Amino acid sequence: MNFNKHSNLEGQHAFLGASKYHWINYSEDKVAEAYSKFLATQKGTVLHAFAAQCISLGQKLPKSQKTLNMYVNDAIGFKMTPEQVLYYSDNCFGTADAILFRNGLLRIHDLKTGQIPAHMEQLEIYAALFCLEYKVKPCDIEMELRLYQNNEILYHNPTAEDIVPIMDKIITFDKVIKRLKDQEG
């Protein structure tokens, strides 16, 4: 038998694909909800890329109380770096949506485009990764973390007592994973 060629689809996954088989148990309403979430995730990816481009170009958006506009304009106003990878090891790294470290102040902003309530712990992990990568002691700096979601800005000023335990977990858990990787190979 000669199979049909679908080279344009190689390496891709269909929404109703075999590797994510749970959909076979969905109702029509559930598949519609799942597909809506999938589209929202794709839109969020595009919005993040758009925001990063605006910030890189210094292109402010019209002043408004919309999440995207506030996020982009604040990042430009503070002269932040968009989409910055923060690296501790191959086991622990992440990309901060916008970051700045100047005059002893670490500023991290995160854009949330979905409806699921965001958690400040993600930004605390970015702060911990920053401190580990750049060998900065959290007790020696001030930090302001901001979450932009649902046309609101949530502010958090963590202390060393918030960040040091996260740093310690990163170090400890990275060692655990490295040890397991060494046992494999």
Q: What is the distance between the alpha carbons of residues 82 and 131, in angstroms, rounded to a whole number? A: 18
Give every residue of the chain whose pLDDT is below 50, as ranges.
Answer: none
Q: How far is CA 173 from CA 91, 139, 169, 176, 179, in A?
A: 9, 22, 6, 5, 10
Say which DSSP state 156 is in.
Answer: E
| E strand segments, 90-149 | 92-102, 105-111, 142-149
pLDDT at 168: 98
d(Cα 40, Cα 112) in Å, to the nearest integer?
Answer: 11
| Number of structural domains the chain divides into | 1
Position 109 scores a pLDDT of: 98
Sheet holding 105-111, edge to edge: 81-89, 92-102, 105-111, 142-149, 152-156
**H, E, C per residue of 9-56:** HCCCCCCCCCCCHHHHHCCHHHHHHHHHHHHHHHHHHHHHHHHHHHHH
Looking at residue 20, what is its pLDDT? 83
Nearest Cα to Cα of residue 156 among 109, 114, 100, 96: 109
Whether 139 is covered by a domain: the verdict is yes
Asked if residue 137 is part of any domain, the answer here is yes
Q: Which domain holds residue 111?
A: 49-184
pLDDT in tens, 136-165: 999 999 999 999 999 999 999 999 999 999
Phi, psi of 21 (to 5 degrees): -75, -10
Between CA 31 and CA 16 the distance in angstroms is 9
Q: Is residue 33 part of a domain?
A: no
In a domain, 2, yes or no: no
Whether residue 99 is contained in a domain is answered as yes
Q: What is the pLDDT of residue 74?
A: 98
Identify whether 19 is part of a domain. Answer: no
**Domain assignment of residue 159, yes or no:** yes
pLDDT at 5: 87
Q: Using the 8-state DSSP alphabet, how is residue 114 labeled? A: S
Element (H or E) spanning 85, and its range? strand 81-89
* 119 domain residue, yes or no: yes
Only one residue has tokens 């990816």, namely 45
